[in-house]
């Protein structure tokens, strides 16, 4: 079973969705036969590399809602994250351009460390408040996730994997992804958004049963 996942690294619901998927997979009897593939998706392709704008201010501006409403929404999301063992500090989260981070995710896949780097980048963003577009930070986190430093520096100093990021985004359009996170099981079962572990597990089991059905 293959699960293709589109997400962005400045999307807190994507981190929440990742952990809920992991919770569901821990209860799935066939976990050892599941392959996860992470795909690029940019919520704001025109964002500056590093932004000092807080996420509450960004939400208030983007959606035209009062700042206090945005902050209340952030606190509610922090509570949802805590329920699955994640520590969010959304008031100190820094937005920024994620294109280069996505390129490193592709590099990490070539080393078999894609999931590890994805998790490390999410934690750096939403728990530690680190800037996602800073190259030195990206190199440091890639190394922590098991990606060779020299490879990370080579990619960031070139346009390597840029076409892969764009191909992911083109595929998202083809599939019909209009928001993230978005999970696609065996290219036929869709899970939009950060659904509960119970919902995800039910869909995993349905997809597995369908895959075992032999067409006459």
pLDDT tens, residue by residue, 133-170: 999 999 999 999 999 999 999 999 999 999 999 999 99
User: What's the average model confidence in pLDDT over 199-207?
Assistant: 97
| pLDDT at residue 56 in the model | 86
Q: 128, exposed or middle or buried, with CB in 10 Å at 0-12, 13-18, 19+?
A: middle
| pLDDT at residue 214 in the model | 53
User: What's the average model confidence in pLDDT over 106-135?
Assistant: 97
Q: Strands 35-40 and 189-192, how do they pair?
A: unpaired
The helix (H) or strand (E) run that includes residue 43 is none
Sequence spans of domains, the chain: 2-212
Distance CA 141, CA 198 (A): 32
Residue with token string 């400045």: 10
Output the CA–CA distances (angstroms, integers) from residue 113 to 5, 34, 36, 57, 174, in the order listed.
Answer: 15, 16, 11, 34, 27
Q: Is pLDDT at 215 greater than 80 in this prediction? A: no
pLDDT tens, residue by residue, 178-187: 999 999 999 9
Judged by average pLDDT, the poorest of 90-94, 114-118, 136-140, 164-168 is 90-94
| pLDDT at residue 180 in the model | 98
3-class secondary structure, 37: strand
Q: What single-letter DSSP state applies at residue 50?
A: S
pLDDT tens, residue by residue, 55-64: 888 889 888 9
3-class secondary structure, 162: helix
More confident: 111 or 57: 111
Distance CA 90, CA 56 (A): 8
Q: What single-letter DSSP state applies at residue 213?
A: P
Q: Is pLDDT at 69 greater than 70 in this prediction? A: yes
| pLDDT at residue 216 in the model | 46
Distance CA 99, CA 113 (A): 18
Residue with token string 């100190």: 92
Q: What six digits make up the tokens of 76?
A: 């509610």
Q: Can you give the pTM of this predicted structure?
A: 0.94
Q: Please give the mean pLDDT across all residues of the chain.
A: 95
User: What's the average model confidence in pLDDT over 88-113?
Assistant: 96
Q: What single-letter DSSP state applies at residue 48?
A: -
Contact indicator for 23, 194 with CB cutoff of 8 Å? no
CA atoms within 13 A on the CB side of 4: 15
For the domain covering 2-212, report its CATH number. Answer: 3.40.30.10
| pLDDT at residue 95 in the model | 86
pLDDT tens, residue by residue, 17-44: 999 999 999 999 999 999 999 999 999 9
């Amino acid at each position: 079973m293959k699960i293709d996942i589109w997400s962005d690294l400045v999307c807190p619901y994507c981190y929440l969705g990742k952990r809920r998927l992991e919770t569901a997979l821990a209860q799935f009897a066939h976990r050892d036969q599941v392959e996860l593939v992470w795909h690029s998706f940019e919520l704001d392709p025109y964002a500056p590399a590093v932004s000092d704008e807080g996420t509450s201010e960004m939400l208030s501006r983007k959606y035209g809602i009062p700042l206090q409403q945005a902050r209340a929404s952030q606190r509610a999301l922090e509570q949802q994250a805590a329920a699955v063992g994640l520590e969010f500090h959304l008031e100190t989260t820094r937005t920024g351009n994620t294109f280069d981070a996505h390129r490193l995710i592709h590099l990490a896949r070539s080393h078999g460390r894609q999931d590890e780097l994805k998790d490390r980048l999410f934690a750096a963003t939403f728990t530690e408040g680190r800037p996602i577009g800073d190259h030195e930070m990206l190199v440091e986190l890639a190394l922590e996730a098991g990606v060779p430093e020299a490879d990370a520096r080579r990619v960031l100093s070139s346009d390597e994997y840029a076409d892969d990021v764009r191909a992911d985004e083109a595929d998202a359009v083809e599939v019909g992804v209009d928001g993230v996170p978005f999970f696609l099981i065996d290219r036929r079962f869709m899970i939009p958004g950060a659904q509960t572990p119970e919902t995800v597990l039910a869909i995993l089991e349905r997809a597995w049963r369908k895959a075992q059905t032999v067409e006459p």
